[in-house]
Amino acid sequence: MGDFAAIIGNFYLECLIKEAVKLTKKGSKSDTISNIISAAGVVFAESGLADANIQDIADRAGVTKQLVYHYFKNKNQLFACVIDASSDDSMQTLISELQQSNISSMAPVPALYELIDKTIEVYYKHPLIASLAGDGIRYHGSHETPRNEFARLGPELTKMLGEIVRRGKASGEFRESINPDLLFATIGLIAGSTFTNRYVVSVLGNIDPTSDEGAALWRPFIVDLISAGVLKRN
């Protein structure tokens, strides 16, 4: 009986060891992929999608070029993963911060101001997605891509904005014709354009909207400008 118990015990121990090895390998694979995506983000931000090359990404990640191609079939697929990872981080942060600020309990006008400003702030707090914005727009415009985190989490933000707009209309502060979906698209478009069209803003507005001094002027100006189109006209 003792020998049988010992056999069962050893078998169970071997199973645990094998399972631990599997989990370690899974963790190692996940870490490697994350490392490659992080390195790729830096290279894409520095060189742009067109000029970035896999060897530079592999060198920065500390892996071989062959290993990069083992996980990603080409540079475009890797770029799509970088964009998705960046979108996930920024969108989750935005939703979390809006929830923490208890935006649902604010009066409609300050709630609108808060949502617009926090959306613009995403690009300032996540310089990687700001740097990749131009290439990302062009890439998604010319490729069939999987539904990424921006597209998945966007409706959650639109829902928040929709509730603010509903309350603003009910209080008589917002125009009845305001469409929350179009309003959110406008906010996202202007927020992203701060970085994708920084040159235009710098030349015509005589400020660099990405600098601390420029942001102090640009952000409240944009918040006021968008809000003015929402508020009911006297």
Given a cut of 60, is residue 173 above it in pLDDT? yes
Which residue, 186, 188, 195, is CA-closest to 229? 186
Residue range 167-188: mean pLDDT, rounded: 93
Which of 61-65, 145-149, 208-212 has the least mean pLDDT? 145-149
- Determine the angle formed by the axes of helices 149-170 and 108-125, rounding to 10 degrees: 160
Which residues lie closer than 8 Å to 56 by C-beta, 6 or more apart?
43, 47
Please tell me whether residue 209 adopts helix, strand or coil conformation. Answer: coil
| pLDDT bracket for residue 231 (50, 70, 90) | very high
**Residue spans per domain, the chain:** 1-72, 75-234
pLDDT at residue 34 tops 90: no
Q: Does domain 75-234 have CATH number 1.10.357.10?
A: yes
| Least confident piece of the model among 11-25, 91-105, 114-128 | 11-25
pLDDT value for 134: 55
**Res. 107 pLDDT band, cuts 50 70 90:** very high
Lowest mean pLDDT among 65-79, 151-165, 177-191, 212-226: 151-165
Residue of 79, 177, 178, 81 whose CA lies nearest to 134 = 79
Indicate yes or no: pTM above 0.95: no
pLDDT, tens digit, 9 for 90 and up, residues 35-86: 888 888 888 877 877 788 899 999 999 999 999 998 888 888 888 788 777 7
Distance, CA of 62 to CA of 172 (rounded, Å): 59
| CA 149/CA 166 separation, integer angstroms | 26
Closest CA to 94 of 148, 153, 181, 163: 153
42-46, 172-176, 186-190, 228-232, range with the lowest pLDDT: 42-46
Residue 232 pLDDT > 80, yes or no? yes
* pLDDT at 127 (0 to 100): 63
Q: What is the pLDDT of residue 133?
A: 57
Neighbouring CB atoms inside 10 A of 167's CB total: 18
The larger pLDDT score, comparing residue 135 to residue 132, is at 132
Residue 174, phi then psi, degrees to nearest 5: -105, 150
pLDDT value at residue 206: 92
Coil, strand or helix at 176? coil
Average pLDDT estimate for 189-196: 81
CATH fold for the domain made of 1-72: Arc Repressor Mutant, subunit A (1.10.10)
**Cα(70)–Cα(113) distance, integer angstroms:** 46
